[in-house]
Chain A
Amino acid sequence: MIFSAARVFVPIVMALAVGGLILLALGKDPFAYYEYVVGRGLLSWSGFQQTVIRAAPLLLIASGLIIAFRAGIWNLGVDGQFLLAAVASAALAPVLILALPSWLTIIICCGVSIAVAMAWSVVPAFLKTRYGLNEIITTLMMTFLGISLANVLVKLPLNDPDNTVPQTMTLPVPDRLGRLFDTTIHSGIIISLIAVLAVHFVMTRTAFGLKLQIVGANPRAAKHAGLNVGRLTFATFAISAGLAGLGGAVEILGVWGTMRADWNPAYGLLVIPLVFLARFHGIAVIGFTLLFAILMIGGESASRRMGVPNFYVLVLVALLLIFLALVEYLDHLSRQRKKA
């Protein structure tokens, strides 16, 4: 237990330390920066609510990635899936709300968004099962394609002419996802928590989850065991893309109500390290996502206040990934030495 805690916290501390040195080299006070980030992202009430709101789409993306990675499928195209799903919700919701009650609008939008994201994952899934093509490349290509397509859709057919900035029509605030109690936090966080827990349950307690794990561990053995690897691959792609799509829907229906052109938060690549850090574990990923959301919200506000651009968060994430892998490697080495 002590060791697993060390495996998690050592990389975080090392990343913060090296990141701090970079800040120092740029002439900024790292302690003031980190203090501000924590103070803003966690300790202030409004900041904390923002953090929880931000965690909702991240958790949905993460839960999709847990399934994909456990099944040995590197779906690196979640950003495209997320954005196209967001476009679908942003296009549908303001129109549907004119005829339907808001609860039905939200359910339909979520469903369509999930379907759109799933559809976007069909090509990589097909190329993988049919020709054994590496899905890292194909999902990345699809994500670049999806980002541009989302922009085209928002700027041309879906553009609301009443706005000067190109964006879709807006879903009125009262019709968006319901707020929890007296806070500004929308109910998307509940959806995402349920999703993470469900994914964790499916992967650890059901036959379907076990099958996916076998495919991930050794596709050849899975085939010999009589599993339909192709169908499971399609299912994995669909579920992981669908969850990312639900993330896009929740972000639009809960926070923005509209989609602006060139809006791309690029959550996908940033969530990947978190999922690794949590070692594909559903419960652990909740903690890391919250931590990361604090960093993002605090960092955004620090970039305005302290003149450290938000790109710094990217550097921190990269450092975190490298140190995580390093600690993992050292751990592996010491265990091997014990065996020998």
Chain B
Amino acid sequence: MGGLLTEAFIASLLFGAVTVGIPLLLAGLGEQISEKSGVLNIGIEGMMLMGAYGGFVAAYYTESFWLGFIAGGILGTVVASLMVLFCVLLSMNQIVIGIALTIGAEGLTALLHHFQFSRTYPRMPEVPILDIPGLQNIPVIGPAFFERHPLVYLSVLLVVFVSWMFRRTQIGLNLQAAGDKPAALDAAGVDVKLTRACAVLTTGFLAGLGGAFMANVGAGLFVPHMTHGAGFIGIVLAMLARGKPVWVLLGAALFGASLALTTALQVAGLNIPTDVVQMLPFAMVIVVLILFARHSYLPPALGLPYHRGER
């Protein structure tokens, strides 16, 4: 155990934490936007998975990471548009539809993968990176944070942008009102369903983007069911962050680190079964929930469809 806190171990832990944390961050931010507007988006796991598959296929055939990310985002949005149609416009049960979208995406992506690639798992080429001059040379931290794909930096910037949007813009206020008191928003002359629809579509895009990042950058390949609950972790992050994007970032970093521990421990020469390490993030969620549950916050109108004129 003496050699555990070596430079190599910490470097690989930090590097892995960023790689695994970015999809969680994108999913968590997306879910936060949805939840703020009053839609509990259980289908986010399905949106990520579709984004992962679509993003991988697009990137693999066009050999462009960016096209892959855009395709992933679009596919996530497509799944989200089903959620909008059924849950926002038709006011159907958000839980049933969310589960349906997740199960459906699990089945569909696995099916499509089977017919496209049979039993082979082709890999993406090496990830192109953008160095941040000056900072990249810092030992340990440099390679983990400043020699990454540009999307990593963009995702972190997105946290700042979403914070600003929530606090300083009309859109942020509208979202908040749609989740807290939709009737008031309606009375103010803003379309509640439109606000929620935009929120859910944004969620879909971000979740799909996160999925595509997971496949193209994180794993370098697509495996059926590869998101393995990442979307659900995103939901938990959004719930514990109490509407503050910065807390989603912190949470994603924490979960990313605990997920990245497997590889880091292998670098340190310790062989802990993957199953044990896979338990870590979920065990952490439970512990965090038990310790901080009283601090979690959900909008009052969450999960309730809006009908004009109804009490």
Contacts and interface: CB of A to CB of B under 8 A. Distances in A.
Given A138-B286, A145-B286, A325-B86, A311 B111 contact: yes
Contact of A148 (B91, B108, B282, B296): B282
Nearest to B100: A321
Contacts of A26: 111, 115
B101 A127 contact: no
B275 A151 contact: yes
B128 interface: no
Interface stretch (A57-65, A212-220, A312-320): A312-320
B239 interface: yes
Interface string B105-129: 1111011001100000000000000
Task: Label chain B's interface by main secondary structure.
Answer: helix
Contact of A142 (B100, B102, B286): B286
Interface in A117-152: 123, 126-127, 130-131, 133-134, 136-138, 140-142, 144-145, 148-149, 151-152
Contacts of A104: none
B99 A144 contact: no
A241 B141 CA distance: 46
A321 B97 contact: yes
Nearest to A272: B99
B42 A322 contact: no
A149 B279 contact: yes
A273 interface: yes
Contacts of A326: 86, 90, 92
A199 to B, nearest CB: 21
A315 B100 contact: no
Given A123-B286, A145-B286, A152 B275 contact: yes
Task: Label chain A's interface by main secondary structure.
Answer: helix
Contacts of A140: 229, 232
A276 interface: yes
A309 interface: yes
B45 to A, nearest CB: 9
Interface stretch (B70-78, B201-209, B211-219, B287-295): B287-295
A1 B294 CA distance: 47
A138 B90 CA distance: 28
B110 A145 contact: no
A312 B111 contact: yes
A325 B42 CA distance: 16
A55 B296 CA distance: 40
A273 B95 CA distance: 11
Contacts of B95: 74, 136
A133 B293 contact: yes
B276 interface: yes
B284 to A, nearest CB: 9
A270 interface: yes
A136 B42 contact: yes
A318 B105 CA distance: 8
Contacts of B290: 123, 126-127
A156 interface: yes
A38 to B, nearest CB: 20
Contacts of B103: 269-270, 273, 314, 317-318, 321
A145 B282 contact: yes
B34 to A, nearest CB: 14
Contacts of B33: none
Given A273-B100, A322-B97, A309 B90 contact: no
A315 B282 contact: no
A314 B279 contact: no
Contacts of A145: 279, 282-283, 286
A276 B96 contact: yes
A259 B93 CA distance: 36
Contact of B276 (A127, A142, A152, A270): A152
Closest 5 CB pairs of A and B: A314-B107, A318-B104, A321-B100, A315-B107, A311-B110
Interface of A: 22, 26-27, 74, 76, 123, 126-127, 130-131, 133-134, 136-138, 140-142, 144-145, 148-149, 151-152, 155-156, 269-270, 272-273, 276, 309, 311-319, 321-322, 324-326, 328-329
16 contacts: A74-B95, A76-B99, A123-B286, A131-B294, A131-B296, A136-B40, A137-B235, A138-B286, A145-B282, A152-B276, A272-B99, A309-B111, A317-B107, A318-B100, A325-B96, A329-B91
